[in-house]
Amino acid sequence: MKLLMVLMLAALPLLCYTGSGCQLMDEVVEKTIDSKVSISVYKELLKEYINSRTMSDAVGELKQYFLNQSDETLKNFRVMMETMYDSI
């Protein structure tokens, strides 16, 4: 699960780097971190990129992973993503 999370989050800055998804990346990261966003709403946001039941389950598990984290951890994750995004 952790490897899947790393791979999915590593792909987001690359998408932005190619010039095709900076706004999408910002929105996905914010929705991932936001504990008020449910798994079903999160999947709806990403439905364009979910093409199988396995992918849908993985996206749900990813969101659940973030729902289980403390506010401090989510804040630190946001700082890490901003740092990574600014370094590209």
Domain ranges of the chain: 2-86
pTM of the complete model: 0.70
**Token reading at 3:** 């490897």
Quick check: helix, strand or coil at residue 19? coil
> Do residues 21 and 15 lie in contact, with contact meaning Cβ atoms separated by under 8 Å?
yes
For the cut 60, the answer to whether the pLDDT of residue 74 exceeds it is: yes
| Residue the block writes with tokens 């952790």 | 2
- Terminus-to-terminus CA distance in the chain, angstroms? 26
Whether residue 18 has pLDDT greater than 90: no
The pLDDT value given to residue 26:
80
User: Contact, 35 vs 67, CB < 8 A?
Assistant: yes
Judged against a pLDDT cut of 60, whether residue 1 lies above it is answered with no
Provide the Cα torsion 18, 39, 31, 77; round to 10°.
Answer: -90
State percent of the chain over pLDDT 70: 72
pLDDT in tens, 25-42: 788 889 999 999 999 999
